[in-house]
Structure formats: C-alpha cells, structure tokens
Structure 1
C-alpha cells in the first residue's frame, strides 16, 4: 500500500524490529468478530441498501434530559437516515431507558447504544454511582477490585439499554499540566496503566460490554485540550512506540474490542498536520497494519475543535472513514456525511466492499452484545438496581484502597493515646463543617474550624491564635469543583499558613485534591502526616478520617510523581482495624436491606404506638459500624429531632459502664477480690448483715440484697413535708447538692444512703434477685483502691482513652441542653420535667454520680466501650482489661442456682422464654450486656462479633408508659441483626 506521507516509511523501518518481536506474541482476537459472518449479520446485510450500510457507521448524541423535540430529531435520523447508533450523554437512567426503547422500536436494525462512562454511569446520569477517577484507581495495589468495577459498570450500562463504554483511558499521563487527561489516567507508569486498564477492560468485556481503549495513539503528554484546539505532540517515533503506544499494543494483544482515536497532531507519525482522527498513516498504517488491530475503531467526538477547525461537517466524517475509522461518533451532519461517502465510493477513494466490511463489524458487535435477540428494557426499579449495596460497597473499597499515605512521621498514624491529645481540625476551602470533620468527631472530641480559600491576614491571625490551645492540628484541604484538576485556588496568605502548619510535625494533612497540587504548596511534605485522596467527596472525606484514627488502613502508591517531592510508586502502609470502621452492612456480612427496612419499621411501630418519641440504634459487626441512625423527636410535644450525637440517660447501663470496668482493672491489678465482701473495702459495713457476702455473689445479683430503696421517701415527714436536715429551697455550704432549682440536698446525705443500705434486711435465700444497692457503694470503693476521684479515674483510665467523650456524668457540665434528650416528668419527687440530669432518684441524691445510674452518652460512644468488651478488653491499640478477666466477668456464674447473670453483666435467660425473654431468640449464650429503665439496651455477642446499642427515653412523659416492653421492640430489633447476617 502506498502512502503520501513519506515519513511513514521511516516509521515502518523504526517499528520493524519491534514488530518482529511482537509477531511471536499470541494475540487474542476481539470476541465480537466471531459473528462477522454469522447468519444474522448476513441476513441484516442483505436487508440493507448500500446507503443504509454507510449509515450504520454513524452515531449521534442523545440526551435524556432534553425535550420531545430532541427525541423527534433522533427519530428522524433513525427512520430517514438509518443511523447505526446513539451516544447517550446527560440525563437520568429512567428517562434514558424510555427514550432508548422508543428509538429501538423505530429502528429497522437494532441500534448500538454507547456512553462515555469512564468512572461509571454517574459521569453522565443523575442518581447513579460515580466510581473513583482513574488516577485514584492507579494508586490501588492489585487489580481485582478494578476488574470487579469493570463488571459492575458493564452491568449498570447494560441495564440502561446500552452496549459500549468509551473506556478505559489508557493514556500515560506524564504531563502534570495536562488539562484534559490528567486525573482520567491511571498514571505515568506505563506498566501500571496496562495492568489497571486490562483489569477494567476484562471486567467489562466479560459482561459482553464492548470497550474502547482511548485516546490512540496517546493523549497523556499534552498541555492543550483537544475539545478546544488541536494538541501537538512532538515526540520521536521511538519515544511514542516505547511509551504512548505501549498500553494500546498490550490491550490489542489482550483482545480489546475497540480503540478510540484522539484528535492529535503528531508530526513523527504524520507530517501533514492532519488530526490523527483523519490520518490514514496513523489509523490504517499504524493501528490496523502494524499493531494488527482488527476490532472496532471509533473516532473521538467529531464536534470537538481539535478536529472541526478548518473541516466542514459531513466532509470531516468522510475523511475519518477514509482514514480507517469504523464508527463515527457525534456526527454533526449525517445526511451530508452519507452523501460524501457515496461520492468517495464513486471517486474510487473507498470501495463499497470496504464500507460493507465496516458495517459487518458493527453488526457483529450488535450480535455479540445480544441485539440479535433484542428485548425492551424495563425502567421499573432501575434506580434501585443501579444503586445496589454491593455496588456501593465496591465503590467504598476502591476509594479505600486508593488512599495514599505520603508521610507518617514517627508512626504517628493511627493516632494513639487519645487522652493525651487536644485536637483541632481545620477545613480549608469550606464555609461550613465538612463530612471530614463530622467523621473525625466520631472518634474523639475535636474542635472544628473552617478557613476560606481567600482568607486574609486578619482571619488567619484569629485562627492561628485559637490553634495555640491544641497539640495536634488536622487539616483538610478541600476541592469542591466538579473535577479534581491540577488547580490550587488559594490566597497567598492561606498558602503561607498551610506551609506554617506543615512545618509543625504535630500536624495532619488530608489533601482532597489532585495530587499534582502538592507541588504547588511549600513545605507540605514536612507535615507529620500527609494523606492524598485524589478527589473530594463525602466518601473520601469519611475514609480519610477513619484512616487517621485507625478504623481502616492504607497501602496506596502514588501513580504520578509530584515534582521532586514524591516519586511515582511511593506510598506508606498504615495499619487499620484498631478502632471502629464505619461502613456498609455488606462489608460485615450483613444484609443492608433487612437492617434498614426492618429496623426502620420497628422504630416506626414504637413511635406510632407512643412507646418512645424517638431513639438511636447502632449496630456493629466485626469491628465495623454498619448501622447508625437517629429516629423521631426528643419528646412527643416538640419538634426537636433526635440527632446521632444527642445524649441519652443510660440508666442501669451505668452499672456495666462505670464502676464495672474499673473493678475489672483493679481485679487485674490484684486490688479487687471477688471473694471479698463490701466490708473489706468499706469498714463501715463491718458487723452488718452485709459483712462477708462475697462480691461474686453481689455482682451476680444473688447476694440477698434488696432490689432497691426509695431513699427520697425517707426524707419525708408524715405530713409530706421534707425533714429539716435533708432539703432546703436554696443552696448553701451545708446544702450544695442540687436536686432541682428549689430543692437542695444536705452535703452529708450520702451517709444516710449508706446507712439505709447497711441496715436494709436481706432476702431469705441466696438466689437470683436483681439489686442495685451495691452499685451505690462501688464508686467509693474505686476511690479507696485507686486513691483517685471516681470520675477522674473513670475518665483517665477508660473514657478518654476510648475517645468516648459523651460517656459522662453530669452532662450539662460539658454539653448544651439541646443535645441532651429529656426523660420523665417527675410528679412525685422533683415535681418538674427531668432534662439534663439523671432520671434515677437515688442517683440524683448521690449528686448525680452513682454506680447504679447517672451516665449519659450517645450510641456511638457507648458502642466503643461495648466493642472493647467484645474484643475481650482491647480497643484502639490499647489493652484495658485482661482477656481472662473479661471472660470471667461475662460468663454466667451460678447456672446451677437458676441464675443467668454474669458479674455485673446481664446474660440471656438460661432457657428462651419467647416474648418474655430478655434477648433475641438467636442471641448466643456467650452474649452479654445490660438494659436500662429509661428504655436503653447495650449488648454484645462474641459468637457473631456483634455490638447492639438501643437508646430511647420511653419514660417520657411517665415511667408508667410500658409500651416499649409490651411491644418487645428492643429484642425484636436485636433479632433483626441475626436475621441480617448472611451465611
């Protein structure tokens, strides 16, 4: 074959040795070619006129968000011009399916439908999934997830009635200033590009979706957007062959179905300044003959200025066909294009046989994708089917696997010893609290700040001053643009401030931007921790926060070099799984549909029945929080919605959340003995009927203690007034304990409570009888054994290290009233609604701090404590309690005495009692936890690695409301967890 371009002969010679080496390599023929001469293709070819066969080569754009006039234009092209296909652009999936069905019904030959969905349907269609951009995927180690993504994207595209994806991008991006490829590339390493592209390609093609590797012969090293002008690439043939063309050769050998040709001026391949889309030396000579590609050759969009400049619509499409393209995308003038090709046939520039060959190839694709047996696509449930939990989980896994840690000075991450850290977070580029900051807050107490992109000296000075109070600063560098381009729109003052913070090694930076911007920030590489996420989204923000605290790990590697700061392939590995990961149920082997629909339904039943006005439910499995929701209102007669960070009165869950963990620690230290009695630690109880009763019996609730004592009633005279030495209406040094605004308790009344406990009679038999009396005494026992104030010991030893900062007594000391859910309207003691203080009368008379009640928390922080128990004493990389101790305390102590209780912990009844049981039917015998009078439940099951938290205020407006018990809501929801576990 002769070519006008003399340079091509030099290209042939330059390629010669390479081609010889490649000849012995086994090539996989594109799968669709098996149908090129099938009976169906033959029959369709016979039914079409020569003109119709030309028309098969053209695809026009279609939009599912345009009006009927647009659809009529498409129908006209189908019915009168007999075009071969459409390329769907913006819109929504339901309308797209409806339109595609109409178009197919109007077409004599089934239409091929394509979409440019490089990162999934979300690139084009509303209410569909955006998978990570290819640069993020380039950071992933291994290709299995990318293969799975290819399969998922193929299924989704097919579900919308389409058959071709104009992906993957296989351009090697080695130009940081590339305005059009950049984040769309797998990176600068050609081998990595090939591995990732092959995985993506194979995933799609294994689902019978045609793929088109693009943008041939390589668009990575340009600084011009071919949508706006014709880029020029001035590399030698040798360089092009070894780098730009390398991925295309590999995918061709692996059987890629299609190749998309770019609009590029490449003098080394064609010296005539002809765009590569129109270049016969590049398409026919190089792609088809030298690289041996037999599949479908597709043009890039023919409305882009890189090809339209100086070329007339219709005429330019003819030139593309003459150059060797099979399928012309975005033809702007179909009738003229067909006429021009007919003219070219008459002129001998191309033969009808060559056109027929292209038409057969297109028909073969149509048969391979199943259009020989076309069925109408149903729009019913399409959005649900395009947003499956499995697809969402895959997206999460991909984003997580891409996270790249570039600095981790002194293994600072994951953050340990939260009790030693005073943390501030700064989101730069956001005017409001970000998802990143919300996710950071799940792990510990953090003060949040925002800094605008254009901040000046005054705003920065104010923030600088505020940050002096913190010993760790976490910075989120945000990018809320549609695409993560290599752009850094920050004021000089903000850039300087970022550099200042980075020089402090106690700084954490999470960059939610294109990695190339790191080269535009001085000293960013000096930060204590530096994380690159590649793009900004709620998901990447959430995952970055989890990485910082060890909920997840990271092993991503940079797919591109960042100047001289970091080279491609660099990335540190960080351990995860030491604290909660917040994820989807499917990642923990649970069914999200069962959890969501059934828990929502049961909570609605409870609220409709006025069993509770609202509540919180948290579920964790395998160390992963998979369900965490807030429901309803604070009270029945207000409009304040429950939020996930609202605090509830835990009631008796206090027993296992306050003194019990401290007693277990003291047991580990040899300071607390289960065989000892109260009198061994509180001598005041010597010579009482409590003397010698071992704590093993007491904590298992068979120490013969009375269930409770109504202490407040002991303060009343016979006429109903209070005894003078108990309460006063105003506070004073002698009456400092606030019960209500006009009720203040004597400072020594605790002694009266102790005396009442000491003098209380014992039950006749040592058998199970639930009692809270001993838990009034345990805080003082802890203080005697530790030499530390009880609350201080509890915070220092347990809560602060857990990051459980809402687990607290006296919540009004730390939290605004609006975050605390009210409890009962007290008409018999305090004579006021109870809000912000403990509901239990005995606990409020202990000053609000007791071992039997008084703790408040949100579900998330309570779950951290319960997860520590489930982990047999370990959480966040720290061991709180010995495993042997937790096993001892959480096992049933006296089953032979018909007692199901453990030490402090509740356990399932020895025999399941149906609706009267204290746990779900499927809760294992190893499970343990506690419930609370206010309508709470905290339970763990080691057998299924489950944590379950239920918080409510069922006592609003009165404790007489027992509908929560009657409906058995707590245990019914618990059973849902077991039902949701997948085998």
Structure 2
C-alpha cells in the first residue's frame, strides 16, 4: 500500500477514535450528577464490606518504569485491599495502557485512575506531547486556545485508560522564589489565574475527564517545597480570602469536579501547631465544604510528602486527613494501615456514618460519571499515532505563538533588514538551536554563534570582538534544564556578556527561560527589543523565528511581575 494511503488511513482512524472517545463527553457535569440518586452507586455501595468502603477512598502510587517486581506489588495491593484508585507516575504510554488494563481486571469495583498532567501526558510519560507550562499559558490573550488544549489533553488521558487529571494548578505565584509552584502557575494576577484555570478545566471536563484544581487554599506565596518540609503561610484571614482563595472560589462557582488540598501550616485558618491544611477540619470541612459550598471531590496532596508526615508519622496523617474531610487520600505511605485506622475512626464516631457514606458514594459517583460503570479496556492499536496526532502538535505551536511576549521595543524594532550582515547567537548551549536554524532561513547573510553557560572570559571577549563586525545581532538566551528555574545557572562572565550585548544598537534578545530569570540579568532592559518566551521548547523557538521573519506578531502579556522595568501585564 502506498505511504500516502497508509497515512490517510492513520489520520482517519485517529479522527474516528477522537470522536468515539469524546462522544462520551458529558451532558451534565459531575457536580450536577451528585444531585440525583444513582442506582449503580447505591448498589455498589451496599455490596461492599465496611473495609472495602474505606478502601474506595485510598489511591496508591503506580509506575511503569520500575520493573516487574514493583508492578506486581501494586497488583497485590489492588487485589488484597480493593482500593479505590491509582495515581500513575513516570513511564511510557503503551506500558501504562497495558498495565492499567491488567490492574482493572484485579479490581471488583473499577479503579479510578489519575495522573498529574498539568502540561499533558508529557509531564509523566515519554513519547507523548507536552503542552506549554502554565506560566507561558498565562501570557496568552485568547483563552479559547487553552480550552482546546484541555479537550486535547482529555482525549490523551482517556485514550490510555485515565479518568482524572490532577490539574490544573490554580495557585497564584506571587513569590518569584517559590521552589515548587513557580512556572506551574498561570501567574501572579488572581483574575488571570482564575480565567485561565477555568478555561483549561472546562475543556477537560466537557470532554469527560475529572479534574482537580490545586493546591487549596493557595501554595503560591511560599519559599518551602512541601515535598521536603511544612511551608508556613503567615497571612491574615482577610488576605487569604481575598487573594489566595479567589481562583478556587471562581473554579467552584464554574463547576469544577475536584479540589486538591495543600500541605501548609496556616495559623490564621487553623492555629494547631505544625498542622498541615490537609489534616485540618476547619479548613477542609469548615471553609471549603461549608463556606465555599464545594460539593465535589476533595483530594489530599500526596500523603507521603514530608510536609504532612514529618509531624504526623505512622499513619496518623492518613486518619487525620480522613477526619478533616478529604474524599480521596492520595499516596498513603501504607494503604493497608490507613484502611485499618480509618475503619477504627468510623467505629469510634469521629466521622458520622452519614458523612462517611456520602463520601464513599461521592467517589463511586465519580467512577460512574467517568463511565466506569460500563468499563471497557483501553485499546493498544495505533496508540503512538493517536497520542502524537497532527492537530495536537499544531495546537502546541499555536499556544506557543500566542504566548511570546514583547516586553521591550515595538513592532518597528523587530523589523530587521534581512540582507544586512547578521549574527545569530544562542547563549547557554553547546550546539546550534532550533531558534538559530529557523531564524537563519530569513537572513541569508548570517552566521551562527554559540556560547556555553560556562564559557571562559577570554573566549567571551573574542566572541564580542567578532560580533562587532555584524550590523545586527539576534540573541537567544536558553535554559536547557528540564524545569526552568527563577535564576539562570550561567557564570557571572556570561551574564556580563549579555549586558554588553543589550547595550549595543540593533540587538534583539529572546529569553527561552523562566520569565523571572530576567531579573537576574541586569542591563538586559537596554535591548533594542526583548521577547520573553518562558521555556526552551522547539515550538517557542519557532515562534520567535516567525516573528523575526514578519509572519507573526507577538501578542502575549507578561503574567508575572519580574522587576520595576517589567511589571505584570507588560506586552505589546
């Protein structure tokens, strides 16, 4: 069969698959479904033993990159404990699909399977698509693009047998030094965070995927990573109500299906010493459920994190999380122990039987809404093509194009003469970049230069001397690390070179790194033109090349305040 015909068939199969999976898109939201009696939920609940009712609240960790013994151990937990669900981490999509199908066969009640996919499957799985980080999305002015991204991500999740995304992140990142949220946030403007988060989760929910806004009541203004210790949020109740909680309140009003609780000490909301918000009934039941009227799934952050178990070891964190009001207790250190302790708490009346029943049924109702009452295994055929379909890749490029932000200069400054002698320089790299290769197509009289992040001062001086011979210089500043941190790991000499270049006429700079990194590059504000591109992806680099060729206008607006020169909202 000719290659073109095979490709046409593949596209047709993908399109049919997309329609089939998304024809399941819900006519009513999960929240709306909770108002109706559900005979499947009632029937399953009454058939479960007390132990297995408790087990429905427990979700355990799963991987596909840790070998057969690990996979078998998770299977034994499912078979013996009949837990409610799984949270998958690193691995590959084909392996995960097959393992999910295998695990579902071991469960008497179908498992609700979740994964962190803030930027799509690529956050956890190899050979899948990664959408831009949320900080980049925060710059976009057309939120319908983010809604479309949500739909595409829902397709990918459902395609490999997932029913829940533990995202979006709806924290307001108002601390540039935040070590754990940062680029995962839509920015520091609460209105923008709320609008972007709602567009994203509505895209997913409308396509039949359960979602989880995180990390309530707000993890954006901390300088401690709760994976390693308990962060303190020392602000007043008034400030927390008006700022941190705002995106979550808006998400609840918009019908979000789930909210994840942060591990933070918040004395203004609960003064108990060293008590994480995850274990606080005043915060979870008092504020989230009673005051904010949230009726959906309350999900704990991972219960194995030091921020929660440091002060409450040996299963105490699990039982306290249950008493506080969490519906899903995620990643207990020991799920068997947690089930026993929670059963004991129910017997002792620490949570009423009515409340316990309602919470178990809420998890079962989520399974029903996700279609698990008529569970069908995910199909392995044509998986790679489905997960890397052209329309999804095109959307990544559209999102990247729409996020590039011109924070210094104007459209005239971007109109370089294609026939002048041009230097195209990438800093922070040791080989030619996509940015250089794509930009060079528009400048026939150009030469490519590279500067590594650790280049010696003598060599930097030589390169600066060579650049004096060029009439215009196009510079890309790259952070090649997987996660773009607030500060570039360049030597001081390389940073001085950037300042030198910025002070020259006809120099255009693009920073393919965290927007906050600009603050650590004094003098860069003197550039003839400066574009921030948020991350070092090929799509961002192609977007800048399109701008420099005159085929695209930069329309993004800065979603965070970098310094006095570049406050939130800066952009053409």
TM-score (structure 1 length as normaliser) = 0.54
Q: 1:940 corresponds to which residue?
A: none
2:412 aligned with 1:437 = no
CA contact (8 A) 1:55 1:338 kept: yes
In the TM superposition, what is the alpha-carbon distance from 1:66 to its structure 2 partner?
A: 2.3
- The runs of 5 or more residues in structure 1 that have no matched partner are 1-27, 573-983
In the TM superposition, what is the alpha-carbon distance from 1:505 to its structure 2 partner?
A: 2.9
Q: 1:147 corresponds to which residue?
A: 147
Q: 1:204 corresponds to which residue?
A: 204
Deviation sequence 1:677-712 (CA, Å, 0-9, x none): xxxxxxxxxxxxxxxxxxxxxxxxxxxxxxxxxxxx
5 Å-filtered alignment, 1:100-499, equals 100-272=100-272, 273-408=274-409, 411-415=412-416, 417-419=417-419, 421-445=420-444, 446-499=446-499
CA contact (8 A) 2:409 2:529 kept: yes
CA contact (8 A) 2:475 2:510 kept: yes
Q: 1:746 corresponds to which residue?
A: none
CA contact (8 A) 1:313 1:337 kept: no
In the TM superposition, what is the alpha-carbon distance from 1:410 to its structure 2 partner?
A: 7.4
* Higher RCO structure (Cα 8 Å, ≥6 apart): 2
CA distance in 2, matches of 1:292, 1:464: 61
Q: 2:21 corresponds to which residue?
A: none
In the TM superposition, what is the alpha-carbon distance from 1:176 to its structure 2 partner?
A: 0.5
Q: 1:40 corresponds to which residue?
A: 40
CA distance in 2, matches of 1:228, 1:74: 25
CA distance in 2, matches of 1:45, 1:311: 31
Deviation sequence 1:38-62 (CA, Å, 0-9, x none): 1111111111011110000000011
In the TM superposition, what is the alpha-carbon distance from 1:315 to its structure 2 partner?
A: 2.3
Deviation sequence 1:12-54 (CA, Å, 0-9, x none): xxxxxxxxxxxxxxxx98134246x311111111110111100
CA contact (8 A) 1:31 1:257 kept: no
CA distance in 1, matches of 2:238, 2:353: 36
Q: 1:567 corresponds to which residue?
A: 567
CA distance in 2, matches of 1:409, 1:367: 53
Q: Secondary structure of the residue that 1:383 maps to in structure 2?
A: helix
5 Å-filtered alignment, 1:775-814, equals none
CA contact (8 A) 1:32 1:257 kept: no
CA distance in 1, matches of 2:86, 2:264: 24
In the TM superposition, what is the alpha-carbon distance from 1:314 to its structure 2 partner?
A: 2.5
CA contact (8 A) 2:414 2:508 kept: no
CA distance in 2, matches of 1:367, 1:295: 14
CA contact (8 A) 1:263 1:300 kept: yes
CA contact (8 A) 2:30 2:366 kept: no
In the TM superposition, what is the alpha-carbon distance from 1:347 to its structure 2 partner?
A: 2.1
Deviation sequence 1:635-685 (CA, Å, 0-9, x none): xxxxxxxxxxxxxxxxxxxxxxxxxxxxxxxxxxxxxxxxxxxxxxxxxxx
CA contact (8 A) 2:406 2:571 kept: yes
Given the superposition, is the C-alpha separation of residues 410 and 359 from structure 1 closer, same or farther in structure 2, using an over 3 Å criterion?
closer
Q: 2:8 corresponds to which residue?
A: none
CA distance in 1, matches of 2:415, 2:264: 47
Q: Secondary structure of the residue that 2:148 maps to in structure 1?
A: helix
In the TM superposition, what is the alpha-carbon distance from 1:377 to its structure 2 partner?
A: 1.0
CA contact (8 A) 1:29 1:294 kept: no
In the TM superposition, what is the alpha-carbon distance from 1:464 to its structure 2 partner?
A: 1.3
Deviation sequence 1:517-570 (CA, Å, 0-9, x none): 111111111101101000001221122122122122210000001110111111
Higher helix proportion: 2
Q: Secondary structure of the residue that 1:286 maps to in structure 2?
A: helix
- The runs of 5 or more residues in structure 2 that have no matched partner are 1-28
Q: 1:97 corresponds to which residue?
A: 97
Q: Secondary structure of the residue that 2:194 maps to in structure 1?
A: helix
CA distance in 1, matches of 2:33, 2:455: 57
The count of corresponding residues between Structure 1 and Structure 2 is: 542
CA distance in 1, matches of 2:411, 2:260: 47
CA distance in 2, matches of 1:193, 1:336: 38
CA distance in 2, matches of 1:537, 1:247: 28
Given the superposition, is the C-alpha separation of residues 534 and 307 from structure 1 closer, same or farther in structure 2, using an over 3 Å criterion?
same
CA contact (8 A) 1:50 1:352 kept: no
Runs of 4+ in 1 over 3 A off after TM superposition: none
5 Å-filtered alignment, 1:838-877, equals none
CA contact (8 A) 1:315 1:336 kept: no
Larger Rg: 1
Q: 2:534 corresponds to which residue?
A: 534
CA contact (8 A) 2:232 2:265 kept: yes
Q: 2:66 corresponds to which residue?
A: 66
5 Å-filtered alignment, 1:715-734, equals none
5 Å-filtered alignment, 1:501-520, equals 501-520=501-520
Q: Secondary structure of the residue that 1:235 maps to in structure 2?
A: coil
Deviation sequence 1:396-436 (CA, Å, 0-9, x none): 10011000011225712132x323x2100111111111111
CA distance in 2, matches of 1:329, 1:223: 24
CA contact (8 A) 2:30 2:369 kept: no
Q: 1:960 corresponds to which residue?
A: none
CA contact (8 A) 2:487 2:520 kept: no
CA distance in 1, matches of 2:208, 2:30: 15
2:537 aligned with 1:547 = no
In the TM superposition, what is the alpha-carbon distance from 1:487 to its structure 2 partner?
A: 1.9
Given the superposition, is the C-alpha separation of residues 286 and 213 from structure 1 closer, same or farther in structure 2, using an over 3 Å criterion?
same
CA contact (8 A) 1:519 1:565 kept: no
Query: What RMSD over aligned residues (CA atoms) do the two structures have, in Å?
Result: 1.2
In the TM superposition, what is the alpha-carbon distance from 1:353 to its structure 2 partner?
A: 3.0
Q: Secondary structure of the residue that 1:449 maps to in structure 2?
A: strand
5 Å-filtered alignment, 1:799-838, equals none
5 Å-filtered alignment, 1:510-909, equals 510-572=510-572
Deviation sequence 1:735-774 (CA, Å, 0-9, x none): xxxxxxxxxxxxxxxxxxxxxxxxxxxxxxxxxxxxxxxx
